[in-house]
Amino acid sequence: MAVTRTAGIVGGGHTRWGSREATYKDLIQEAGKATFDSVPDMGPEDIEGLFVGSVQPERFAFQTHVAPLVAELLGIDVDAMIARTELACASGQAALRYAWLAIAAGQLDVALVLGVEKMNPPGGHMPEAQASMTNVMDREFDGVNGLNAPPYFAMVAQRHMYEYGTTREQLALVSAKNKRHAAHNEFAQFQDEVTVEEVLESYPLSPPLCLYDCSGITDGAAGLVLMSEEKAREVTDEAAWITGSGQACFASNSVNNLPSMSGWPQATTAAEKAYDQAGVTDPLRELDVAEIHDCFSISEIVEYEDLGWVEKGEGGRFVEDGRSALDGDIAVNPRGGLLGCGHPLGATGVSQALEIYDQFRGDVPAERRVPDPETGLIHNLSGSASVHSVMILRA
Amino acid sequence: MAVTRTAGIVGGGHTRWGSREATYKDLIQEAGKATFDSVPDMGPEDIEGLFVGSVQPERFAFQTHVAPLVAELLGIDVDAMIARTELACASGQAALRYAWLAIAAGQLDVALVLGVEKMNPPGGHMPEAQASMTNVMDREFDGVNGLNAPPYFAMVAQRHMYEYGTTREQLALVSAKNKRHAAHNEFAQFQDEVTVEEVLESYPLSPPLCLYDCSGITDGAAGLVLMSEEKAREVTDEAAWITGSGQACFASNSVNNLPSMSGWPQATTAAEKAYDQAGVTDPLRELDVAEIHDCFSISEIVEYEDLGWVEKGEGGRFVEDGRSALDGDIAVNPRGGLLGCGHPLGATGVSQALEIYDQFRGDVPAERRVPDPETGLIHNLSGSASVHSVMILRA
């Protein structure tokens, strides 16, 4: 179905991501200020709708009702629409989707989207954060048995290696590529390049996944300003237009009910819907840049396949042949990905969309700049990859 | 701005609300089944989008990523849109609003909206639930000092009594009215009628508010099916059409920053936006039925005023004169309200909308049936009343 009314990203801001000596509120204010600073002649008084992505401030910051908290901290009088969205690791993209819907449905013209997560507790006491991450999975079937993200994605990696001959080196190539990009991203949590050998020799976390195959426990926030086309054209001629959206979940969430352990057909359904809406008929040729959900190195390889870029089982070769490099078929995760930037759950999708906007304008360091991109994709999985979320953006 | 594409409620289902020997998942399944049972010839395979309202399953059920949990439990293959929405006590209405947006923006035709909260822990150990409710307020300024809902609304009551001469008896009249309705609602948590005297003599919880001036700690769920007009007309000629929406938050959340202690001008802004969109020019004459947020008896009195039905300060007289009774100017809270039904946070807004749908069809017991309603309103406040959310429905 065609989009009724077009909306575009016209600005955004970012905090440094990492283990931050900052509260949940500090992160909101830091990202909010950067976001407002990015759009000249626009201030809090222009915002009509506020869309917050955050996963579990209830556990990490002992705070709920977080959307008005953001309004208060940023001085925004909301007079049209306000709420916070949770879809685990895809919460930021979900918030962006609802802001886009509000504009598409003619309900408002100017929206602020803000994603935030404060995961590292003061003093670095990690058991609470680690325990809380087990509730992203089905708590009664999976989380209670200690199945959180690393062992689930390790099983996916094992199964993918078994079925398709994917190698440890191919996984490591994903990490090395994304961390190389992150080394040139001032906001990234991890800014050291690592070699394939260093990935392979890093601490074995959940075999075959080692430490450098995994994203981090991260504090961070990012914001976006989304405007209707009419309004956007008043402030800029460089918007990133949202042209397609897709999400899918196959009546499954706990690991036992997933349709596959080596693939995510839900990603295919979500992507096809988004491609269709955006008029993308050959994604491999038409997509120039993609920010996809590399929470673990294996994820990116499975996504090359299930987003419809290569045949099933060819994902390992895709990275090995440099086809996901900056000068490859599709430049994948030039931001540094989750592996390089870290993964403050609710902020990741917002940061990914901001990266596409920045790449369209060429406003990134030369070392990780994609040559003249016109079409971009953002993708998030969430939970035990039970849900996949895709959006297409055009310059 | 006009709504681009009309959507209507065509069915819904409800669990019994109360202190339930049921898990979070049990409640989802019970409401889900009732919802599917309410729309003949429609099943999980027809649902394109899933919109879940829930506040803090992270604390109450140690579970996040709850939207796919609902998809799994109800057997729904989502292929268009899925997420959960949090706006504290208004989360259910927020989920409904996003489902409506998705249809209005032409992204899907059939949506399931499900609100759920499991607040009472097994064995009735309440400290966790009580502590968790302090994070609905600003945790650092308000919650940390023990300011949760009862003392905040008690302050509003005190200030309203001081400024306008509102009486304890007028507050008690609200409770007696709504609990009388709840006595004829099979799903309500509290099904005993109480007299004004009994309200006044109940346990003083946070003066001037006594026990029967307060809603409950409640487990419960409710679901709705929302369809585009085209699709809805295929299955029913009795839909409840969503014709207006408004939300407002005045850059304030913590109690110190609220614009007033005796009124909620945000409610006025939200209501005016919704009235304008729905073409309601004289709400007192045009609204037939309203489900408004009586988390405490004082709330309903303030809302009579700030939703624009009577002059500021006249709310107490409005109930005293029977103008909010079933046969009054506007029948307010025929469902039994939060005072009678209880308040499972994420489910309340969904249940309110379902009541309007049921009232339009006359599908409620005679003792609480509104005579031939054609226009209805739902209203929720959230947190320390920092956000107000309003929707208008028409038969």
Among A66, A104, A251, select the one facing B72 at the smallest CB separation: A251
Pairing of strands A387-394, A375-382: antiparallel
- On whether any CB of chain B is under 8 Å from the CB of A147, the answer is no
Name the strand (E) or helix (H) holding A82: strand A81-86
Is the sign of the CA dihedral A26, A29, A31, A34 positive or negative?
negative
Output the CA–CA distances (angstroms, integers) from residue A237 to A12, A372, B93, in the order listed.
15, 16, 36
Write the residue in B72, B82, B269 that is nearest to A257 by C-beta.
Answer: B72
pLDDT value of residue A70: 98
Give Cα A177 to chain centroid, integer Å.
17
Judged by CB atoms within 8 Å, which residues 86-105 of B form the interface with A?
86-88, 90-91, 94, 97-98, 101-102, 104-105
Residue A3: predicted pLDDT: 62
Q: Is A241 on the interface with B (CB under 8 A)?
A: no
The C-alpha atoms of residue B231 and residue B235 are separated, in whole angstroms, by 7
Q: Are B174 and B319 in contact, with CB atoms under 8 Å apart?
A: yes
Contacts of A262 (CB under 8 A, 6+ apart): A156, A159, A160, A162, A163, A164, A302
Of B64, B71, B382, the CB nearest to A88: B64
Does the CB of B112 have a partner CB in chain A at under 8 Å?
Answer: no
Rounded distance between C-alpha atoms, residue B304 and residue B325, angstroms: 12
CA–CA min distance B110, chain A (Å): 14
| Residues in chain B, overall count | 395
Q: With an 8 Å Cβ cutoff, are A387 and B88 in contact?
A: no
pLDDT of residue A127: 76
The tokens for A9 are 């990203």
CA distance, residue B53 to nearest chain A CA (Å): 10
Catalytic residue among A89, A210, A214, A341: A89
Whether pLDDT at B196 is above 70 = yes
**Contact in structure between B347 and B90 (CB atoms under 8 Å):** no
What span, in angstroms and rounded, lies between the C-alpha atoms of B15 and A34? Answer: 45
Tokens standing for A258? 């997933």
Separation in Å, CA of A325 to nearest CA in chain B? 30
Residue B45: C-alpha distances to residues B30, B42, B110 (Å): 18, 8, 10
| Beta carbons of B52 and B85 less than 8 angstroms apart | yes
Residue B129 has what pLDDT?
79
Structure tokens at A84: 């916070």
- pLDDT given for residue A2 in this prediction: 56
Distance from CA of A5 to the nearest CA of B (A): 8
Closest residue in chain A to residue B89, using alpha carbons only: A65
Which pLDDT belongs to residue B126? 76
Give me the residues paired with residue B390 across strands: B246, B379
The 10 Å CB-count burial string (b at 16+, else e) for B53-65 is bbbbbbbbbbbbb
Integer Rg of chain A from CA: 19
Q: What is the mean pLDDT of residues B115-135?
A: 84
If you count residue pairs, one on A and one on B, with CB atoms under 8 Å apart, how many are there? Answer: 247
Secondary structure letter of residue A265 according to DSSP: H
CB A92 within 8 A of CB A221: no
Q: Look at the block and give the residue holding tokens 């450098």.
A: A212
Supply A282's token pair.
């050959």
Domains in chain A (CATH in brackets) are 7-123+217-235 (3.40.47.10), 243-394 (3.40.47.10)
Q: Is the pLDDT of residue B161 over 70?
A: yes
The bridge status of strand A220-228 relative to strand A375-382 is unpaired
**What Å distances lie between residue B98 and A145, A306, B38, B82, B243, CA to CA?**
34, 28, 22, 10, 14
For chain A, say whether B218 makes contact (Cβ under 8 Å). no
What does A269-322 look like in DSSP terms, one character per residue? HHHHHHHHHHT-S-HHHH--EEE---SBHHHHHHHHHHTTSS-TT-HHHHHHTT
Cβ–Cβ under 8 Å, residues A80 and B273: yes
B3 touches chain A (CB under 8 A): yes
Q: Which residue of A has its CA nearest to B54?
A: A86
Answer yes or no: A184 catalytic: no
Interfacial A residues in 318-377 facing B (CB < 8 Å): none
Categorise residue B146: left if φ over 0, alpha if ψ from -120 to 50, beta otherwise: left
- The backbone region for B388, taken as left when phi is positive above 0, alpha when psi lies in -120 to 50, beta otherwise, is beta
Interface of B with A in 48-87 (CB under 8 A): 50, 55-56, 58-59, 61-69, 71-72, 74-87
Rg over CA atoms, chain B:
19
Q: Which residues of B are catalytic?
A: 89, 343
A72-104 per-position pLDDT tens digit: 999 999 999 999 999 999 999 999 999 999 999
> Which residues make beta-bridge pairs with A379?
A390
Structure tokens at A336: 């540094």
Verify whether the Cβ–Cβ distance A135 to B67 is below 8 Å. no
Name the residue with tokens 């039994």: B336
Nearest chain B residue to A109 by CA: give it: B1
DSSP string, A169-218: HHHHHHHHHHHHHHTT-TT-S------HHHHHHS-EEETTEEGGGB----
pLDDT grade, residue B144 (50/70/90)? Answer: confident
pLDDT reported for residue A304: 98
Distance of CA B182 to the CA centre of its chain: 14
H or E segment and range at residue A153: helix A149-164
Amino acid sitting at position A375: T
Q: Does A130 touch chain B (CB under 8 A)?
A: no
Contacts of B248 in chain A (CB under 8 A): 77-79
CA distance to A25, B256, B264, per residue, from B259 (Å)? 21, 9, 8
Q: Which residue of B has its CA nearest to A277?
A: B107
Query: b or e along B287-314 (b: 16 or more beta carbons within 10 Å of the residue's beta carbon)?
Result: bbbbbbbbbbbbbbbbbbbbbbbbebbb
Q: Which residues contact B87 (CB under 8 A, 6 or more apart)?
A: A65, A67, A82, A83, A84, B93, B94, B382, B387, B389
CA-to-CA separations, A105 to A373, B6, B102, B376, in angstroms, rounded: 28, 10, 8, 22
End-to-end Cα spacing for chain A: 21
Pairing mode, if any, of strands A81-86 and B81-86?
Answer: antiparallel
- The verdict on a CB contact (< 8 Å) between A85 and B81 is no
Contacts of A245 in chain B (CB under 8 A): 81, 107
Least confident of A40-54, A158-172, B135-149, B309-323: B135-149
Nearest CA in chain B to A4: B105
**pLDDT confidence of residue B132:** 85
Q: Name every residue whose Cβ is closer than 8 Å to that of residue A75 and which is 6 or more positions away in sequence.
A: A44, B251
Give the number of other CB atoms < 10 A from CB of residue B123. 6
Q: What confidence score (pLDDT) does residue B299 get?
A: 98
- Per the structure block, which two tokens stand in for A259? 């349709």
- Is A217 at the interface with chain B, CB within 8 A? no
Q: What angle do CA A35, B246, B217 make, to 5 degrees?
A: 95
B45 has a chain A CB within 8 A of its CB: no
Which chain B residue's Cα is nearest to A345? B65
Reported ipTM: the value is 0.97
Candidates B46, B249, B390: best to mutate against A (most CBs of A within 10 A) is: B249
Burial class (CB in 10 A: 0-12, 13-18, 19+), A240: buried
> Active-site residue A89, yes or no?
yes
Q: Collect all residues of chain A within an 8 Å Cβ-Cβ radius of residue B62.
A: 135, 139, 143
Instruction: Spell out where chain B has E strands.
Output: 7-14, 49-53, 77-78, 81-86, 110-117, 204-206, 209-210, 220-228, 240-250, 289-291, 331-332, 375-382, 387-394
Q: Mean of the per-residue pLDDT values for chain B?
A: 96
Per-residue pLDDT tens over the stretch B277-298: 999 999 999 999 999 999 999 9
Residues of chain A with pLDDT under 70: 1-4, 124
d(CA A393, CA B359): 44
Q: Is the model's pLDDT at B56 over the cut of 90?
A: yes
Per the CB < 8 A criterion, the answer to whether A262 and A58 are in contact is no
